[in-house]
Amino acid sequence: MNQPQSWEARAEEYSLYGFTDMPSVHQRGTVVVTHGEGPYIVDVHGRRYLDANSGLWNMVAGFDHKGLIEAAKAQYDRFPGYHAFFGRMSDQTVMLSEKLVEVSPFAHGRVFYTNSGSEANDTMVKILWFLHGAEGKPQKRKILTRWNGYHGVTAVSASMTGKPYNSVFGLPLPGFLHLTCPHYWRFGEEGETEEQFVKRLAKELEDTIEREGADTIAGFFAEPVMGAGGVIPPAKGYFQAILPILKKHDIPMISDEVICGFGRTGNTWGCETYDYMPDAIISSKNLTAGLFPMGAVILGPELANRVQNAIEAIEEFPHGFTASGHPVGCAIALKAIDVVMNEGLAENVRNLAPRFEEGLQRLAQKPNIGEYRGIGFMWALEAVKDKATKTPFDGNLSVSERIANTCTDLGLICRPLGQSVVLCPPFILTEGQMDEMFDKLEKALDKVFAEVA
Ligand code: PLP
């Protein structure tokens, strides 16, 4: 067989690309990566890029953390693979569940493992359907989420995701309802205060529950800060306004901490940062610092007890993945939790967050930046055509993609999301690397705005 010559051509010949703008790939080629050094990735041509995306938010300890690699190697030597079915599981699985409950905001809890964040959300939905059915409410099945929320790509988690692109799959499935995104700057109405905006969203939730009937709603899922929706922190007081409503109607609140969990917002959990207590937590990505595909559902005490009782009643919970609780994934997660929480990584996020914000504040003075927003090590700059009216650029100009592509040319990876550019670097970033990031980003902004403004 004739092999095309370049890595880029070979990638394009044989790969089906996901979440990729194909015209850009055809025009610019694929960045084929061979390895990483700290927060940098290196491509087949030896070019280095500061990855201010942490891979996909997940490589929080960088791309060559020796301690994590050693933990993986040691576990491969000891016991390289197992499952968690039929009353058997690895010692690492036992230890990780203990650890996750210990570091969770819950006094007690139970953990179920998956291979991804999408599967963890799917699993949580199945747990809720199972629970409500077992408690005599089989009609309690609808799921509430928000527009712009991202919860994954499986048929159920994509139905939870509030993005119009899922219509190409004929999704969402029936019974998945999306509420207003709590982004005050973009969705606050003329003359509406932030407090009034939050009240309006709380009323929308009340009205939705009233209309649909609380006994038809299985649960409400929310990211503390929306990540893939464009880094959208909640409007002030949002969770405090909606949680009592959910509680009053016996609708479990699930905090999807796939991005926010383990340090991204500066604390262990996003719900800690935004001061609310969910009924369960979804974790993935940072859980293994990106070194192993793994997700986890962590049930808080009340759900844990109710679900366990429901399982005892029928003697078995018919759900699980071959690699649920994989010993290597668990060993890596145990090490990753230790590295992030005890080796100064979360501390670095807390220490450098003010400097991060200062840098963005400065860039946001530019006439075509409408807003900067974020917390910890997750931030976005939103481009606008007109700052005063917040009018976006014509979508055909692909402004954020152009900024991100120019950054790539300069050796910086950042992510275009809508009209925003997202920065979510590894937690090991130094002050010097942060300066490099802002330097390159500013050059890219100036170049692109000169072209389109
Ligand atoms: N939930 C959130 C908040 C996410 O950001 C993501 C992925 O970006 C997911 C769920 C899905 O995780 P995965 O891509 O591992 O399926």
Q: For the residues of 15-72, what is the DSSP string, one character each?
A: ---SS--HHHHHHH----EEEEETTEEEETT--EEEETTHHHHT-TT-S--HHHHHHH
Ligand 1, atom 10: closest residue by C-alpha: 151
> Do strands 142-146 and 217-222 pair parallel, antiparallel, or not at all (unpaired)?
parallel
| Nearest alpha-carbon partner for 97 in 257, 296, 284, 328 | 296
* Ligand 1 atom nearest to 121, measured from its CA: 10
What pLDDT is stored for residue 223 in this prediction? 98
* Helix, coil or strand: residue 291: coil
Residue 4 has pLDDT above 90, yes or no: no
Q: Identify whether the C-beta of residue 202 lies closer than 8 Å to the C-beta of residue 241.
A: yes
Between the CA of 184 and the centroid of ligand 1 the distance, in Å, is: 24
Q: What is the pLDDT of residues 358-412, one digit of tens each?
A: 999 999 999 999 999 999 999 999 999 999 999 999 999 999 999 999 999 999 9
* Ligand 1 atom nearest to 295, measured from its CA: 15
284 within ligand 1 shell (Cβ under 6 A): yes
Residue 3 has pLDDT above 80, yes or no: no
Q: For the residues of 137-155, what is the DSSP string, one character each?
A: -TT--EEEEETT----SSH
* Ligand 1 atom nearest to 227, measured from its CA: 5
Between the CA of 119 and the centroid of ligand 1 the distance, in Å, is: 9
Q: What is the pLDDT of residues 266-313, one digit of tens each?
A: 999 999 999 999 999 999 999 999 999 999 999 999 999 999 999 999
Q: What is the pLDDT of residues 20-78, one digit of tens each?
A: 999 999 999 999 999 999 999 999 999 999 999 999 999 999 999 999 999 999 999 99
Between the CA of 286 and the centroid of ligand 1 the distance, in Å, is: 11
Mean pLDDT over 317-340 rounds to 98
Q: Which residues of 386-400 are buried (b: 16+ CB within 10 A; e: fewer)?
A: eeeeeebbeeebbbb
Residue 1 has pLDDT above 90, yes or no: no
The chain-wide mean pLDDT, for the chain, equals 97
Q: What is the pLDDT of residues 125-180, one digit of tens each?
A: 999 999 999 999 999 999 999 999 999 999 999 999 999 999 999 999 999 999 99
Q: What is the pLDDT of residues 95-132, one digit of tens each?
A: 999 999 999 999 999 999 999 999 999 999 999 999 99
151 within ligand 1 shell (Cβ under 6 A): yes
Q: Give the confidence band of 453 by pLDDT, cuts at 50, 70, 90.
A: confident
Residue 2 has pLDDT above 60, yes or no: no
Between the CA of 150 and the centroid of ligand 1 the distance, in Å, is: 7
Provide the 10 A C-beta neighbour count for residue 2.
4
Between the CA of 63 and the centroid of ligand 1 the distance, in Å, is: 20
Mean pLDDT over 187-205 rounds to 98
Percent of the chain with pLDDT over 70: 99
CA dihedral (59, 65, 69, 71) positive or negative: negative
Q: What is the pLDDT of residues 220-259, one digit of tens each?
A: 999 999 999 999 999 999 999 999 999 999 999 999 999 9
Mean pLDDT over 335-360 rounds to 97
Distance, CA of 277 to CA of 290 (rounded, Å): 26
117 within ligand 1 shell (Cβ under 6 A): yes
* Ligand 1 atom nearest to 285, measured from its CA: 15
Between the CA of 229 and the centroid of ligand 1 the distance, in Å, is: 11
Q: What is the pLDDT of residues 418-428, one digit of tens each?
A: 999 999 999 99
Q: What share of the chain is helix, strand, coil (3-state, %, to 5)?
A: 45, 15, 40
270 within ligand 1 shell (Cβ under 6 A): no
Provide the 10 A C-beta neighbour count for residue 291.
22
* Ligand 1 atom nearest to 260, measured from its CA: 3
Between the CA of 446 and the centroid of ligand 1 the distance, in Å, is: 32
